[in-house]
Amino acid sequence: MVNEEIKACPFCGEKGLLCEGEIDGSKVYYVYSECGVSTGASEDKARVIELWNNRSEELLPCPFCGGKAIESEVEIDGENFLTVMCEECGMSSIANKDEARVKAAWNARTVKKQE
Ligand SMILES: [Zn+2]
Ligand SMILES: [Zn+2]
């Protein structure tokens, strides 16, 4: 049995929407939020749901160099914020106090690199 429960979007809190599309004549699925965040497309419906549900927890590799992403703390005006940065090239995501949001921002940037 596939668990089709889709978690709320880590950016806007709206429910993720399962969408269908077509690539080269094959039916594909992806999960999308109205704020514009989406997973990659796959023929495996269970996999895209899993990707979406896990995206706020697992860090994807760096979109520039493929290096390992790590969480780190930064201090801005005397306050501590969390950010995600690449161990190799030093690229970092937004700094925010909300860990899930910081991780989601990193992962979203990786997926949307064609823009
Ligand atoms: Zn959203
Ligand atoms: Zn990197």
pLDDT digits (tens, 9 = 90+) for 43-53: 999 989 988 88
Residues 51 and 73 in one domain: no
Overall average pLDDT of the 28-55 stretch: 88
> CA-CA distances (angstroms) from residue 73 to 38, 53, 76?
27, 25, 10
Return the closest-CA partner of residue 6 out of 28, 42, 31, 38: 31
Q: How far is the CA of 87 from the centre of ligand 2 (A)?
A: 7
pLDDT at 56: 54
Q: 107: domain range?
A: 69-111
Give the Å distance between the CA of 89 and the centre of ligand 2: 4
Q: In the chain, pLDDT over 70 holds for what percent of residues?
A: 90
SS3 breakdown of the chain: % helix, strand, coil, rounded to 5?
20, 30, 50
> Ligand 2 centroid vs 85 CA: distance in angstroms?
8
Asked whether residue 40 falls in the same domain as residue 1, the answer is yes
Q: Is there a single domain that holds both residue 1 and residue 51?
A: yes
Residue % of the chain over a pLDDT of 90: 42
- Do 46 and 86 belong to one domain? no
- Residue 62 falls within a domain, yes or no? no
Domain assignment of residue 61, yes or no: no
pLDDT of residue 115: 43
Shortest CA distance to 4 belongs to which of 44, 58, 59?
A: 44
Q: Tell me, yes or no, whether 7 and 47 share the same domain.
A: yes
User: Per this entry, what is the length of the chain?
Assistant: 115
In the structure, what pLDDT confidence band is assigned to residue 55 with cuts at 50, 70 and 90? Answer: low
The pTM score is 0.49
Ligand number nearest to the C-alpha of 109: 2
Token look-up 């990707």 returns 51
Kindly state whether residue 63 falls inside one of the protein's structural domains: no
Indicate whether 46 belongs to any domain. yes
Q: What is the mean pLDDT of residues 90-101?
A: 88
> What pLDDT, on a 0 to 100 scale, did the predictor assign at position 57?
60
Q: Flag whether 12 is in a domain.
A: yes
